[in-house]
Structure 1
Amino acid sequence: MAFACTTSRAQMVAVSTDVLMDALQTPSVGAELVVCERSSISLNLFGNHNPWGKTMKIVGIQPEWRYYFSGRPMHRHFVGVGALGTQYDITWKGKVYDGYAVGLGLTFGYVIPLSSRVNIDLHAGVGLVAYRQKEYFESDNYDQDYSYGGTAQANASGYCLLPTRIGVSVVYILK
């Protein structure tokens, strides 16, 4: 990243929220800082607790570095390299998934400027996600069936190729 920066100017700072995640009752907030003529870094936080009355809790963080092809940050086409870290406890169709996941991926997107301070950011990304979780049926006696030395252990782990970012964000440029 340091070699991608050739000149440094006054930094632009923006805050955002992902409208699609908000619609899915998973509030999100993000901040983006321009670090070079064509690139920026961002940090997005998201989480939920029992959306739609479903037993679910998710908390996550997504740092990302973006390169803008237009020569102007926060404008038009970009590609990003990002990471994902999340902790979750989800009950789905009688099965419980309680664990964490980490991943790395690529994001592609397009930023549409609506005014000098407001943008719409369309983005989609895919990445390799590794997970480690306790996976069991609600009726199981998990604490006894999957314990070692009195401590419940994760019984499922692996990795898979998953979407890491899909969304439409409303961005407000502060400076």
Structure 2
Amino acid sequence: MKKKQVLILLLTLFLGTGTAAAQQIAIKTNALMLAAMTPNLECELVTGEHASASLSVFGHSKPYGLDSKVIGVQPEYRYWFNGRPMTREYIGVALLGATYDMQFGRNVYDGDAVGVGLTAGYSLSLGKKLNIEFYGGFGVVGFWQKLYYKDDTYEDYFSDGSIKTNSHGYKLMPVKLGVSISYILK
């Protein structure tokens, strides 16, 4: 139930950032995430003279044979310093919503994360329709997860029959990092 509420909130924030009369629409993919075997797709639309909004979705299952599953969504609002969005430098605010189930060493992490952070980047035009973007962002990510050891019996952690989180907190960390290839549709 909580996952649906977070997703609805993120989509509402994204859709409420601009008007439907976008002048430009771009489709992107983050090459760094692809190198980590995490398929991703982003759509960005211009919402004003100096503004754009984007929505990115990503996910993976067992990349490089690791025991890891992640699915996430990341809306972002960008302010472009140049008079033309999708060109040159920008700053932005990105939100993050993800659900994950992964194992590192003997620890198993199964939970949800939400975050917000500030981003900055540069978009280099390679032609009328093609751009390459370099960006990074840092922020606060909150998580709620079930944390247990690989060889333990999972049910021992939740003896009353309810499955609840037993670990939660906040961390300062990168919320967005990438090198994206962008194709401008119109």
Same-fold call, TM > 0.5?
A: yes
SS of the residue corresponding to residue 151 of structure 1 reads: coil
Structure 2 gap ranges (5+): 1-12
How far has the Cα of 1:56 moved from its partner? Answer: 0.5
Match status 1:20 vs 2:23: no
**Alpha-carbon spacing, 1:10–1:33, altered in 2? closer, same or farther (3 Å):** closer
Q: Match for 1:165: what amino acid?
A: K
Q: CA RMSD in A?
A: 1.9
Q: 1:162 aligns with which of 157, 163, 173?
A: 173
Kindly report which structure 2 residues correspond to 1:66-81, keeping only aligned pairs within 5 A, or say none: 66-81=78-93
Equivalent position to 1:137, from 143, 149, 162: 149
Structure 1 partner of 2:7: none
1:112 equivalenced with 2:98 (yes/no): no
The 4+ residue runs of structure 1 with deviation greater than 4 A are none
Match of 2:57 among 12, 28, 45: 45
Q: How far did residue 149 of structure 1 move?
A: 3.0
Of Structure 1 and Structure 2, which has the larger fraction of its residues in helix?
A: 2
Match of 1:91 among 75, 91, 103: 103
Aligned length: 171
Alignment of 1:60-71 (within 5 A): 60-71=72-83
Q: Partner of 2:47 in structure 1? A: 35
Per-residue deviation at 1:66?
0.2
Higher strand share: 1
User: Is residue 94–residue 118 contact of structure 2 (8 Å, CA) maintained in 1?
Assistant: yes
Secondary structure in structure 1 of the residue aligned to 2:23: coil
| Equivalent position SS for 1:129 | strand
1:146–1:153 contact (8 Å) kept in structure 2:
no
Q: CA deviation at 1:9?
A: 7.2
Could you say which residue in structure 2 is the equivalent of 1:59? 71
Paired residues of 2:22 and 2:45 also in contact (CA < 8 A)? no
Distance in 2 of aligned mates of 1:62 and 1:20 = 16
Give the distance between the partners of 1:58 and 1:38, measured in 2 at CA: 33
Do the aligned partners of 1:119 and 1:171 also contact (CA within 8 Å) in 2? yes
Q: Deviations over 1:119-157 (max 9, x none)?
A: 0010000111000001111011121x2215312221100
